[in-house]
């Protein structure tokens, strides 16, 4: 499986979110053959809905699946607790992470549950997230549920 190719779909979503002034996290779900099932992006700012993270958006767009063991969830940034919980709840087999530099997430917690975690350390994902955090730290802190004490 060419995970870099799959990441492009999630990264395009993240870039769209960035251009919309939202949190630039994109995600996509694929079947075991690499066929796209659903894609989405964080739209908390755009929709005023804090429950729309990239991963949850892609998950919902993919619709009902009989099993998630053979599914691949690709996300541009290491998943937060909320999305990590979703991955464990539905036993998603493989999670591809674009980057975990700007936010390290809880990848060990996923691995402990038997999730196949693949880290790509993609420079474009790293740069896009970094420029967002640098310009809008307030929005970012709200997104990961952390008060910025200002
Ligand atoms: Zn999340």
Q: Domains of the chain: which residue ranges?
A: 3-144
Q: Find the length of the chain.
A: 150
- CB-CB neighbours of 79 under 10 Å: 28
Q: What's residue 66's pLDDT?
A: 97
Above pLDDT 90, what percent of the chain? 90
Mean pLDDT of 91-104: 97
Q: What's residue 146's pLDDT?
A: 65
pLDDT, tens digit, 9 for 90 and up, residues 33-58: 999 999 999 999 999 999 999 999 99
Measure the CA–CA gap between 39 and 3, rounded to whole angstroms: 15
Distance 93 CA to ligand 1 centre (A): 17
Model confidence at 59: pLDDT above 90: yes
Model confidence at 144: pLDDT above 80: no
DSSP state at residue 77: S
Catalytic residue among 55, 99, 112, 146: 55
As a CATH number, domain 3-144 is 3.40.140.10
CA 46 → CA 17, 42, 65, 78, 99, distances in Å? 8, 9, 28, 21, 23
Q: What's residue 138's pLDDT?
A: 87
Distance 83 CA to ligand 1 centre (A): 4
pLDDT, tens digit, 9 for 90 and up, residues 18-37: 999 999 999 999 999 999 99
Helix 3-19 with 54-61: angle, nearest 10 deg: 110
Distance 2 CA to ligand 1 centre (A): 24
Q: What's residue 120's pLDDT?
A: 98
**Of 4, 5, 6, residue with least CA distance to 71:** 6
Q: What's residue 68's pLDDT?
A: 98
Maximum separation of any 2 CA atoms in the chain, in Å: 47
Q: What's residue 141's pLDDT?
A: 82
Measure the CA–CA gap between 79 and 136, rounded to whole angstroms: 19
Model confidence at 143: pLDDT above 90: no
Q: What is the mean pLDDT of the chain?
A: 94
Distance 143 CA to ligand 1 centre (A): 8
Catalytic (active site) residue 55: yes
* Cβ-Cβ contacts under 8 Å for 78 (sequence gap 6 or more): 97, 99, 100, 103, 104, 105, 106, 107
């Amino acid at each position: 499986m060419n995970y870099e190719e799959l990441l492009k779909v999630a990264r395009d979503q993240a870039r769209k979110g960035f251009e919309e002034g939202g949190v630039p996290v994109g995600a996509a779900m694929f079947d075991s053959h690499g066929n796209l099932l659903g894609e989405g992006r964080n739209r908390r700012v755009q929709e005023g809905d804090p429950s729309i993270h990239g991963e949850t958006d892609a998950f919902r767009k993919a619709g009902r699946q009989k099993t998630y063991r053979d599914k691949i969830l690709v996300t541009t940034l290491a998943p937060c607790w909320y999305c990590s919980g979703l991955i464990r709840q539905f036993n998603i087999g493989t999670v591809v992470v674009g980057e975990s530099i700007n936010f390290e997430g809880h990848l060990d917690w996923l691995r402990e549950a038997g999730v196949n975690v693949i880290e790509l350390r993609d420079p474009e994902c790293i740069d896009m997230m970094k420029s967002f955090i640098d310009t809008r730290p307030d929005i970012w802190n709200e997104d990961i549920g952390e008060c910025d004490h200002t």
